[in-house]
Amino acid sequence: SNTVPPVPRVGVVVFVLKGKSVLLGRRRSSIGDSTFALPGGHLEFGESFEECGAREVKEETGLELGKAEYLTVTNNLFLEEPKPAHYVTIFLRAVLADPNQVPQNLEPHKCDGWDWYDWDKLPQPLFWPLDKMVVISFC
């Protein structure tokens, strides 16, 4: 309700990699609407980062991941949003358990659809926490 002060939350997101491409989908959300983002979501009580990443990717895309690896963490403030938010975002990377799997859009109210994008031809606009992370990594 309105009387509960906001708190930081933990997001876990995954660079699902296939050859030279990465899986992205256009968000449908009050935060980052219509920008391209990684699959991922909220860390649940008791989960490891890797368990959360695998669960969120499975829920959102149907894809089964191989072993996920930790990449980095960023601190993201969304204070200008209608509902201000603060996420500590854990970035993982993983490949598919079986490379022939095809992503499905299992949460169409949250995403326009998933596709593979070449690393040197990423779609625009990227969700800004992802953009910030990609820019830092390749500077």
List residues binding ligand 8DG (CB under 6 A): 11, 13, 29, 31, 37-38, 40-42, 56, 76, 87, 89, 110, 127, 129-130
Considering the complex, what minimum distance in angstroms separates the CB of residue 58 from ligand 8DG? Answer: 11
H-only helix segments in 7-118: 49-61
The entry of ligand 8DG, Mg ion, none near residue 31 (CB within 5 to 8 angstroms by kind) is ligand 8DG
For every residue of 90-135, DSSP letters joined together read EEEEEEBSSTT-----S-TTTEEEEEEEEGGG--SSBPHHHHHHHH
Residues 30-49 touching Mg ion, rule: CB under 5 A, are: 41
Question: What is the pattern of x (binds Mg ion, CB under 5 A) and - over residues 53-72?
Answer: ---x----------------
Q: Which is nearer to Mg ion, 50 or 56 (CB)?
A: 56
Q: Which is nearer to Mg ion, 132 or 138 (CB)?
A: 132
C-alpha span between 12 and 49 (Å, rounded): 7
Structure tokens at 58: 């499975």
Which helix H or strand E contains 66, and what residues bound it?
none
Considering the complex, what minimum distance in angstroms separates the CB of residue 13 from Mg ion? Answer: 8
Amino acid letter, residue 38: L
Binding site residues, Mg ion, CB under 5 A? 41, 56
